[in-house]
Structure 1
């Protein structure tokens, strides 16, 4: 086809979070103009809309957790607070005219491939169709609630950290938090001085990497705004630091980088916790990096506040007055918060997705979710995922990941637009061979060294990209078209 007779494609994007906004912007920049985003809630922003707990911040430096084409000179700190990140995405969506493309309050419940197009239906009964569907539904958006016998009898307020009830007062109250992941650590830093009593219920100790979070001065922000090259240099410096210190270290359990991480975490524990009994309670029994490494400048200081306590006895049940642990102790509470993470293997589900010949995604993913390069699934033509299964969720900035994946997807889509292909579908044997290679490499990473984490799939294999940052960038730079069936 000539440029003037190229096929006009209709795109539907599922989700208006970080990657959905990115997809809409990049599609428009590539000359596509028939785009609709379906967002199940009444506001864009994804995880930064849903998570509003005290102390929330990104654990990736802000100038890396930024679209490459939309730098932000005004970040207040190196690790930006969640409210600033949400404002950034809202501002960027408005600047690029994305908000009018979003159908708010429309959760897509079914997505069925029929006669070369995707047929969609929403919970409101809206019907739509598309040539291409991009699932930008995120990774961590289905809260995991703990099983707590007697919770229905609790006399105080109880909620998940991702469903924070801002109508509940916290100052001077007795607050309990269940969990010790990144969210619980940030909440501890924010609340341990505000509560009259603060109880952190720990099932598993965590290694804490002592990453400082300095504020950017007014002068620094003015320089970044006035001299974009200075901001670009900072971004590159931060990127190199994250790659060298974390991304390329954790893929080899025996690497010098992993040893350096472990040494830093151990020194932080030994020097940061004064009480030897508390120190031992906080000492993990697995290797640093096996679980997602937690970055915090002040958690140890926060948990050592006079009003804070670390509870390591397991929870027996919940009573009207509080939480009773196995040692018989009743921890009296006014507020109980479940910082217990998310169901990490949902991705586009619970949307019903059926591909060629009625193949059901739930059946395909019955054992575990998998996708070729975390982007494409056999028998699901013209359906692409951003930050899908087995991508670099544990070691890269997810904005960087999504940008690389968008570049890859746009190149595939070009074959649909110019008419050289009618369907883009990865060959099953290629996807299977890729997954076998990925699993073999994943067994050599630090995530496979003997801990239980949300990185692991049902078979106990890390569900993440197990190679270097540069290999990911190189792989995403240009699709290998022999991996896809020739459906012209």
Structure 2
């Protein structure tokens, strides 16, 4: 008799008890990995009423992934019938819901349970406190909060006087009718270039307040025909080959161009030509000049859209690159003194990417809070473990983002590593804390390698860098290099304490 995906692959282990905070790609993925390894005492805390993370929250018009669908999915759960090359939000959310159901996670979810504080207790236990006042103890705590979960909203003077509607793109107000509206879109990054082309035709007037120009290329998107989806189902090797080809494109061509000086020169020439071709679709020469970045290509993530530049040719669409100084009751005022009327403000200002676990407080050994430990910048061994915080691991933690490719590959590496940690705890280890010298060496090496990357040397401000211009986000090498580093958890990298017998 065959075993369904919802069944565990190894003998069931009641211990350790495991808390996972967050139910996006990270939280669902690590829960599946742990269940497949036989761990059944899992609780996934989710503050919302359903799983999905950023793909549950970001429902703005045109929301879609900018990594190809076949790569932006778990390798152990391919989806042969992706409708298009770059999947849109509803389809990605359906995929995550499918994975949660298919692998038996639904009984492990606690929805509407926001974790406000987690504190380490003597004996290797974490006490997790939720906003409703409840608390529960666990042997292992995994923060799967994601880097892009807390919207960033500027604190502009006069915002409380605005008489119109205000919302962030990640909290889209679908009840607000944009037909005939005078809209101020503050920001011009990845979300704005997706939704602006879709809302501009109905708006009476739409002004994009450009915070900084971006390198934007055409998006090579396409709908997959029915025959291709049928072929993927009948011959899974076809889809695997497609996934491998996409992975090698990012890994062998784009990643070296981001992290090596010679690669940077080659990337710069290629991207300038590719994005320059797309920019020529803007008819106004002065506007073209204002849309052309003055920093090195790749310093910020290169954006893709085949509609954004064409939308800027519309007579009701304007681009302002003067900073906003204040919000008025009926619009916004910029540094040049101009007043721009608006009845709707949409923040397209991204996320607080440096707040890896916020708003949750995490307190480790000796009452040390994680924010205090990170006062000089977030850092974690392999992006996973922090000294002074035993039995605590991060998913998508510091320096595990990729400048090109799919974060899902990095997540699967982290899942395999955390499963090994859980096995140590199941085998009698009560406390597992990364050594401070191991973390220091790793961090120093990562920062040294990042110092010559385009992200650090490309001349731009980006969410990759913290307030001190320290790169706390990106992995300084190949995705395969990260997979190799995380393939085996070395006990010698950790302070181990034993005490409990095997469950």
- Normalising by the residue count of structure 2, what TM-score does the alignment of the two structures yield? 0.92
Work out whether residues 409 and 479 of structure 2, in 8 Å CA contact, stay in contact via their aligned partners in 1. Answer: no
User: Alignment partner for residue 493 of structure 2, among 480, 483, 486?
Assistant: 483
User: Alignment partner for residue 192 of structure 1, among 186, 191, 200?
Assistant: 200
Secondary structure of the structure 2 residue equivalent to 1:120: strand
Give the CA deviation at 1:6: 7.2
- Alignment partners' CA distance in 1, 2:92 and 2:338: 41
- Alignment partners' CA distance in 1, 2:416 and 2:32: 12
User: Alignment partner for residue 328 of structure 1, among 337, 351, 367?
Assistant: 337
Secondary structure of the structure 2 residue equivalent to 1:238: helix
Whether 1:408 aligns to 2:397 is: no
Whether 1:40 aligns to 2:47 is: yes
Whether 1:434 aligns to 2:442 is: yes
Matched with 1:458 is 467
- Tell which deviates more after alignment, 461-470 or 230-239: 461-470
Whether 1:295 aligns to 2:301 is: no
- Alignment partners' CA distance in 1, 2:70 and 2:201: 30
Matched with 2:15 is 8
- Alignment partners' CA distance in 1, 2:350 and 2:270: 24
Matched with 1:169 is 177
From the superposition, tell whether residues 316 and 361 of structure 1 become closer, same or farther in structure 2 (CA, over 3 Å).
closer
Whether 1:106 aligns to 2:113 is: yes
User: Alignment partner for residue 147 of structure 1, among 137, 147, 155?
Assistant: 155
- Alignment partners' CA distance in 1, 2:104 and 2:420: 23
Counterpart mapping for 1:57-206 below 5 A: 57-114=64-121, 115-206=123-214
Matched with 1:305 is 314
- Alignment partners' CA distance in 2, 1:130 and 1:327: 56
Consecutive unaligned residues of structure 1, counting only runs of 5 or more, are none
User: Alignment partner for residue 361 of structure 2, among 334, 338, 352?
Assistant: 352
- Alignment partners' CA distance in 1, 2:144 and 2:105: 15
- Alignment partners' CA distance in 2, 1:474 and 1:126: 40
Whether 1:277 aligns to 2:286 is: yes
Whether 1:31 aligns to 2:38 is: yes
From the superposition, tell whether residues 359 and 325 of structure 1 become closer, same or farther in structure 2 (CA, over 3 Å).
closer
Work out whether residues 387 and 393 of structure 1, in 8 Å CA contact, stay in contact via their aligned partners in 2. Answer: no
- Alignment partners' CA distance in 2, 1:395 and 1:112: 35
Give the CA deviation at 1:172: 2.9
Work out whether residues 247 and 405 of structure 2, in 8 Å CA contact, stay in contact via their aligned partners in 1. Answer: no
- Alignment partners' CA distance in 1, 2:60 and 2:12: 51
Whether 1:258 aligns to 2:258 is: no
- Alignment partners' CA distance in 1, 2:21 and 2:13: 25
Moved over 6 A (4+): 3-7
- Alignment partners' CA distance in 2, 1:183 and 1:257: 28
CA RMSD, Structure 1 to Structure 2 (Å): 1.9
- Alignment partners' CA distance in 2, 1:210 and 1:236: 23
Work out whether residues 248 and 469 of structure 1, in 8 Å CA contact, stay in contact via their aligned partners in 2. Answer: no
Give the CA deviation at 1:324: 2.5
Work out whether residues 207 and 265 of structure 1, in 8 Å CA contact, stay in contact via their aligned partners in 2. Answer: no
From the superposition, tell whether residues 4 and 176 of structure 1 become closer, same or farther in structure 2 (CA, over 3 Å).
closer
Consecutive unaligned residues of structure 2, counting only runs of 5 or more, are 1-9, 499-503
Work out whether residues 265 and 288 of structure 1, in 8 Å CA contact, stay in contact via their aligned partners in 2. Answer: no
Matched with 2:5 is none
- Tell which deviates more after alignment, 340-349 or 191-200: 191-200
Secondary structure of the structure 1 residue equivalent to 2:80: coil
Whether 1:468 aligns to 2:498 is: no
Work out whether residues 217 and 278 of structure 2, in 8 Å CA contact, stay in contact via their aligned partners in 1. Answer: no
Give the CA deviation at 1:253: 4.0
Give the CA deviation at 1:460: 0.8
Give the CA deviation at 1:417: 1.6
Work out whether residues 143 and 341 of structure 1, in 8 Å CA contact, stay in contact via their aligned partners in 2. Answer: yes
Work out whether residues 153 and 349 of structure 2, in 8 Å CA contact, stay in contact via their aligned partners in 1. Answer: yes
From the superposition, tell whether residues 97 and 7 of structure 1 become closer, same or farther in structure 2 (CA, over 3 Å).
closer
- Alignment partners' CA distance in 2, 1:387 and 1:394: 13
User: Alignment partner for residue 268 of structure 1, among 256, 274, 277?
Assistant: 277
From the superposition, tell whether residues 244 and 306 of structure 1 become closer, same or farther in structure 2 (CA, over 3 Å).
farther
Deviations 1:395-428 (A, max 9, x none): 3412111111111111222222222x33221100
Deviations 1:436-462 (A, max 9, x none): 111111111001122111100232122
Matched with 2:6 is none
Deviations 1:179-212 (A, max 9, x none): 0111111122222223222211112111112232
Matched with 1:20 is 27
- Alignment partners' CA distance in 2, 1:225 and 1:306: 46
Whether 1:240 aligns to 2:248 is: yes
Work out whether residues 252 and 258 of structure 1, in 8 Å CA contact, stay in contact via their aligned partners in 2. Answer: no
Give the CA deviation at 1:260: 4.6
Secondary structure of the structure 2 residue equivalent to 1:84: helix
- Normalising by the residue count of structure 1, what TM-score does the alignment of the two structures yield? 0.95
Number of paired residues? 485
Work out whether residues 139 and 344 of structure 1, in 8 Å CA contact, stay in contact via their aligned partners in 2. Answer: yes
Work out whether residues 36 and 103 of structure 1, in 8 Å CA contact, stay in contact via their aligned partners in 2. Answer: yes
